[in-house]
């Protein structure tokens, strides 16, 4: 037994350690699906072989979409231009604590949760990030700071509301939904109720309350539907432009997913960039 151990030790001393490039493709492809987004991004930079293998891996579909979007972001001249204004205002925040607060009262879509948990802060697209300084949020909203092509989100912890609607089973049929109750999530445990009848709801209408949703409040009067009940489940993941009275209609849909909202912001950034005088200087 002792002789075998010595032989093994001697063998190891004369054998060079394996490198990442020595791993077989099958093993690498079984590892990639276990990696979070930022590790996948790093894996692409190991060497050309790994870069070619990442697209072949059986990745979580949502993570693959974000990886593709990341590659679009970092290759965009608009992102490179805007990051100089954005990055000085980035701050560390506890992503898991943010998500614990978020999911305490809602079953948020996987797409949004993965974005909060795994998206690289260095690749923040526009001012859409919970880890931004409050002052930067206010300045970009009021003065449209250089590089601020998107209306900012900088709520940490997230600012959410519970909304109850009447007027239809779903906004997809063209029916306008009128809010009957809007309740900040932070007040839910206190039993507080807020009536919206003074802000546009017609008390003469006797329709039974239907859809209930939980929304994340974004800048510019936009609301991201985190969760729903009594028919509101089908609205989860949609971004609406809402008025002060929280009426909803299918023509007020800004984006049908969080990733679509980010993609639209990137396109808007590229339009903004093309209009910069410096973009036309050769």
Spatial CB neighbours of 179, under 8 Å, sequence gap ≥ 6: 163, 164, 165, 196, 201, 245, 246, 247, 248
Asked if 180 and 196 touch (Cβ cutoff 8 Å), the reply is yes
pLDDT tens for 75-132 read 998 888 888 888 888 888 899 999 988 888 788 999 999 999 999 999 987 778 888 8
Residue 62 has pLDDT above 50, yes or no: yes
C-alpha span between 94 and 117 (Å, rounded): 9
Q: What is the pTM of this model?
A: 0.77
C-alpha span between 108 and 134 (Å, rounded): 24
pLDDT tens for 244-263 read 667 777 788 899 999 999 99
Residue whose token pair is 């700071």: 145
Spatial CB neighbours of 145, under 8 Å, sequence gap ≥ 6: 85, 136, 139
C-alpha span between 155 and 143 (Å, rounded): 19
């Amino acid at each position: 037994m002792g002789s075998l151990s010595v032989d093994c030790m001697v063998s190891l001393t004369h054998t060079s350690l394996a490198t990442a490039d020595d791993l077989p493709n099958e093993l690498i492809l079984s590892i990639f699906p276990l990696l979070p987004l930022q590790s996948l991004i790093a894996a692409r930079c190991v060497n050309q072989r790994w870069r070619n293998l990442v697209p072949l891996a059986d990745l979580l579909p949502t993570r693959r979409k974000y990886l593709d979007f990341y590659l679009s972001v970092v290759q965009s001249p608009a992102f490179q231009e805007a990051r100089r204004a954005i990055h000085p205002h980035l701050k560390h925040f506890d992503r898991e604590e943010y998500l614990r607060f978020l999911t305490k009262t809602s079953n948020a879509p996987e797409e949004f949760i993965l974005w909060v948990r795994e998206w690289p802060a260095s690749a923040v697209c526009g001012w859409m990030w919970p880890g931004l300084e409050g002052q930067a949020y206010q300045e970009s909203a009021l003065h449209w700071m250089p590089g601020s092509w998107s209306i900012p989100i900088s709520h940490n912890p997230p600012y959410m509301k519970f909304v109850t609607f009447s007027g239809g089973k779903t906004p997809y049929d063209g029916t306008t939904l009128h809010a009957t109750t809007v309740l900040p999530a932070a007040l839910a445990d206190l039993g507080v109720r807020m009536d919206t009848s003074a802000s546009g709801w017609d008390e003469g209408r006797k329709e039974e309350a239907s859809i209930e949703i939980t929304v994340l409040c974004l800048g510019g009067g936009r609301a991201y539907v985190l969760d729903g009940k009594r028919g509101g489940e089908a609205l989860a993941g949609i971004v609406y432009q809402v008025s002060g009275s929280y009426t909803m209609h299918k023509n007020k849909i800004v984006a049908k997913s969080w990733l679509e909202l980010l993609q639209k912001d990137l396109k808007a950034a590229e339009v903004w960039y093309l209009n910069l005088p410096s973009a036309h200087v050769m």
